[in-house]
Amino acid sequence: MTSPDQSSVPVRAAFDLTTEPWIPVVRGGVETEVSLRDAVLLAHEIDSLSFADGPQFAGLLRLLSALVMSAYGKPRDRDQWAELYRGGSFETADLDAYFERIGRSRFDLFDADRPFFQSAAVTDDPKTNAEIMPHVAAGNTPPIFSPDTEKKPRSLTPAQAARTLVGFMAVAVAGLGRAKAIEGSGWAGASFGGRVGQIGFIAPVGVTLFDTILLNMPIGVGTKGDQPQWERTDAPPAGRAKRAATGVLDMLTWCPRRVKLIANEDGTVTHLRMLGGDGLTVLDKQFEPHTEWRTSDGKDGRTPGDVYQRKHLIRTLGWRGLPNLLALRKTSAGDESSMLFIQLSHLDSVLPEDYPISIAGLNCEYGNMAATFADITFDVFSLPFRAFGPNEGDVRADLTELVQRADRVARLVRTLAWSVSRVVLRDSGKDAPYATAYAGTLTARFTTDVEAVTRRFLAGLTAHPRAVDAGIEAWDQGVYKLALRYRDEVVATATGCLFDILVSTAGGTRKVLAMPPTVSDGKFHDDLGALIAHPATAAAALATESAEELSA
């Protein structure tokens, strides 16, 4: 293998993304790779894109959606979308004609003039390919125990390099490198990171890749001059620029960094050149389909009426964001779901109510100056199409209340843990740091266990969309049992410990040795019963289960 030096390294071979396999998919339950052409033409036979890498999933889904809309046209209305859906597959002739019209070279990863998703004009010093791999050590972003070093970079095949590049463009960190602003571009400040990573990505996933692509195509969103990155007549320059998106195709294929992959003699990629890229002047609600929104009331320091993105995932599990996801109409707080999920509510004449919708969510947290990755969260869960039905407001209200109830029960468990551990640990310092740490750890475990109960509920609801009441009752029983189990664990930590409790008597106030009210059976059960929708049923189920265990 030949490592690049400061001089330009010639590209040896082409890598045609339309014919070479590089996109990871699941087909018949088996992981495999397909070309860009096959991903579209065989989409009806493919289960889904691979969920193994969140940034790559988001980037590839946006890429495929933009490609299909470019080749087959954007759906003008619901009827045209339904016509595409009922067709069952994408026509071969239309896609091949599109590739020939645009030119296959535009989809060549190593093209000398217009390499795919890159800028041939970048001539900065080479860096290792770790710069576009969030999970690999690079400069000041070293993951713990990473085996990769600057002197021994990871080698990527052309297929790996292509999907890594597309994924990176979805979550790119900020930073200028030594790029100069294009004169007259109005640039000010650092380059923006990947738009999807910063705004929070949320997308519907269907039962096949064909369905998923269609579900991620906005209906009735067409603007003159809108083009994907590979169709632009002007080659990406070396300098950075700041501009507005021309439409949804431009937004879906936005490249926030200027990158040029460097091919070694054996075709692998270990190094690249990278500079700042395009900054976005405004995130237009009508062009960005993969995020949720909030309208400002002025209390947050913004101008009243300003619309801005609301992240779905912030180090939380995806189902905990259901209240925002299901906000198909603007809430009193100004929250609103993404256009794609609002769009779902108008497809009730096309999709059956038991059609299973998976929801994929991605969120990145960045470090200092958004120049490093701090955390990446990716989650997938399921719901029945019925939850998005135009006349199913009660179902959405029930699901929203369930999530809020889970949070309230978690706070009850946290309060209990904090109250007991503060005395047991003799944590009388300001803010009780040790008790707070213990309560936080225990609550995190409790939330993880609630996740398992909730995912079973959502999976059951997806299979039986009419069993909402029965499912919620079963969820109540599971959470009730969990809360009591964690109560017992907390109380066990206080075994042998009695607390000075002030009680009022006829002779005045005196101290007695007892458990505090927050720990007593009556207090905790009363508080828990007030939070659970079916407390009597849950308690009876638990009593029956305990009796069966004793008699066994």
Residue 187: per-residue pLDDT: 37
Average pLDDT rounded to a whole number, residues 229-255? 82
Task: Report whether pLDDT(550) > 50.
Answer: no
117-172 pLDDT, tens per residue?
Answer: 998 888 878 989 888 988 876 665 555 556 666 667 889 999 999 999 999 999 98
Per-residue pLDDT for 178 more than 90? Answer: no
Of the listed ranges 47-61, 303-317, 470-484, the least confidently predicted one is 303-317
The percent of residues in the chain predicted with pLDDT above 90, rounded, is 49
Position 339 scores a pLDDT of 94
| pLDDT bracket for residue 302 (50, 70, 90) | confident
pLDDT at 188 over 60: no
Is the pLDDT assigned to residue 26 strictly greater than 60?
yes
Residue 317's pLDDT is 61
The band of 189, judged by pLDDT with boundaries at 50, 70 and 90, is very low
Residue 250 DSSP class: H
Question: Which residue in this structure is represented by tokens 């225990």?
Answer: 442
Residue 495 φ then ψ, to 5°: -55, 130
Global pTM value: 0.87
Least confident of 193-207, 232-246, 333-347, 411-425: 232-246
Q: How is residue 524 written in tokens?
A: 């905790």
Decide which of 165 and 6 is more confident.
Answer: 165
Residue 470's identity, in one-letter code, is A
Give the per-residue pLDDT at 424: 73
Choose the most confident range, by mean pLDDT, from 192-201, 475-484, 525-534. 475-484
CB-based burial, 504-525: b 16+ in 10 Å, e otherwise: eeeeeeeeeeebbebbeeeebb
Whether the CB-CB separation of 381 and 356 falls below 8 Å is answered with no
pLDDT band at 70 (very low <50, low <70, confident <90, very high): very high
Higher pLDDT, 223 or 517: 223
Neighbours of 105 (CB within 10 A): 15
pLDDT, the chain, mean: 83
Is pLDDT at 321 greater than 90 in this prediction? no
| Mean pLDDT for the stretch of residues 397-422 | 91
The neighbouring-strand residues paired with 34 are 23
Q: With a cut of 70, say whether residue 514 has pLDDT above it.
A: no
Over range 352-370, report the average pLDDT: 87
Name which of 141, 130, 190 is nearest 164 in CA terms.
130
Output the pLDDT for position 284: 83
- State how far the Cα of 184 lies from the Cα of 242, in Å rounded to an integer: 10
Tell me the DSSP string of 72-110: H----SHHHHHHHHHH-S--HHHHHHHHHHH-GGGGBTT
3-class DSSP assignment, residue 366:
strand
pLDDT confidence of 181, banded at 50, 70, 90?
A: very low
Residue 521 has pLDDT above 80, yes or no: no
Q: What is the pLDDT of residue 384?
A: 92
Q: How far apart are CA 255 and CA 262, in angstroms?
A: 18
Q: What is the per-residue pLDDT for 145?
A: 58
> How many other CB atoms are there within 10 angstroms of residue 417's CB atom?
25
**What percent of the chain shows pLDDT beyond 70?**
79
